[in-house]
């Protein structure tokens, strides 16, 4: 069975976007962080997005600006299989993209049961709560950024039940970011 992981950057007060929906505060770039992101993303997995995050990524990574920013990441993300959850996106313009237009939980449950690479959710706060409620997320990789936003939206807005998580490891970076890995308690993968 394929694993489903969340990788998201959060402010110290728990928000993944500020009150205007902006995530630019999360880009604390340095060589050590870039190396970790490149290593962590591997290249053999698949990506799962909500429509808004997908359109943001698709408007940057397969473009000349994306290639200029980081050619290796742009190439890897374009080659990776991508799934976008949307009832309105008719024809995705980014290579290797499949639209999931049906019931989110059923579609992801089916994807996890199919053979193939593990799947990572980037951003996409609207799809994390229902997948958390359904117990389909195997791991949360949460990056605490040393910034306080004061208000915004959490990736767990809308989760309808208590979910206990076990810390499995952490790693700090010179830029102030701290990554924490969590697995659901009681999960066979914890």
CA distance 99 to 88: 10
The answer to whether position 189 is within a domain reads: no
The answer to whether position 147 is within a domain reads: yes
122: domain CATH number is: 3.40.430.10
Mean pLDDT computed over 81-90:
93
Per-residue pLDDT at 187 exceeds 70: no
Concatenated DSSP letters of 67-113? HHH-HHHHHHHHHS-EEEE-SS--S--STTEEEE-S-HHHHHHHHHH
CA distance 80 to 122: 13
Q: Is the dihedral of CA 146, 151, 155, 161 positive or negative?
A: positive
What pLDDT is recorded for position 190?
Answer: 40
Contacts of 75 (CB under 8 A, 6+ apart): 67
* Residue 54 domain boundaries: 4-184
The answer to whether position 52 is within a domain reads: yes
The answer to whether position 190 is within a domain reads: no
Q: In terms of C-beta distances under 8 Å and separation of at least 24 residues, what long-range contacts does 169-178 make, across chains too?
A: 171/36, 173/30, 173/32, 173/33, 173/36, 174/30, 174/32, 175/28, 175/29, 175/30, 175/32, 175/33, 176/28, 176/145, 176/146, 177/9, 177/28, 177/33, 177/143, 177/144, 177/145, 177/146, 178/143, 178/144
Instruction: Give me the number of domains the chain comprises.
Output: 1
pLDDT, tens digit, for every residue of 163-177?
999 999 999 999 999
The answer to whether position 19 is within a domain reads: yes
* Region for residue 100 given its phi and psi (left: phi exceeds 0; alpha: psi -120 to 50; beta: otherwise): beta
User: CA neighbours within 13 Å on the CB side: how many for 6?
Assistant: 30
The answer to whether position 165 is within a domain reads: yes
Tell me 25's DSSP state: G
Mean pLDDT computed over 20-39:
83
Higher-pLDDT residue of 33 and 139 is 139
Residue 115 Cα to chain centre, angstroms:
21
Specify the range with the lowest mean pLDDT, choosing from 42-51, 64-73, 111-120, 129-138: 42-51
Confidence of residue 42 (pLDDT cuts 50, 70, 90): low
């Amino acid at each position: 069975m394929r694993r489903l992981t969340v990788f998201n950057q959060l402010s110290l007060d728990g928000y993944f976007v500020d009150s205007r929906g902006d995530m630019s505060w999360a880009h604390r770039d340095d060589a050590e962080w870039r190396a970790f992101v490149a290593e962590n993303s591997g290249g053999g997995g698949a990506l799962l997005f909500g429509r808004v995050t997908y359109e943001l990524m698709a408007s940057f990574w397969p473009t000349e600006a994306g290639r200029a920013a980081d050619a290796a990441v742009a190439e890897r993300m374009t080659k990776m299989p991508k799934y976008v959850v949307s009832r309105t996106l008719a024809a995705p313009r980014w290579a290797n993209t499949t639209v999931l237009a049906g019931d989110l939980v059923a579609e992801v449950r089916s994807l996890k049961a199919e053979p193939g690479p593990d799947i990572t959710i980037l951003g996409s706060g609207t799809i994390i709560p229902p997948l958390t409620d359904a117990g389909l997320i195997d791991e949360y990789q949460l990056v605490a950024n040393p910034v306080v936003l004061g208000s915004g939206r959490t990736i767990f807005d809308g989760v309808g039940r208590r979910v206990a998580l076990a810390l499995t490891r952490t790693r700090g970076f010179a830029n102030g970011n701290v990554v924490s890995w969590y697995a659901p308690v009681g999960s066979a993968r914890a």
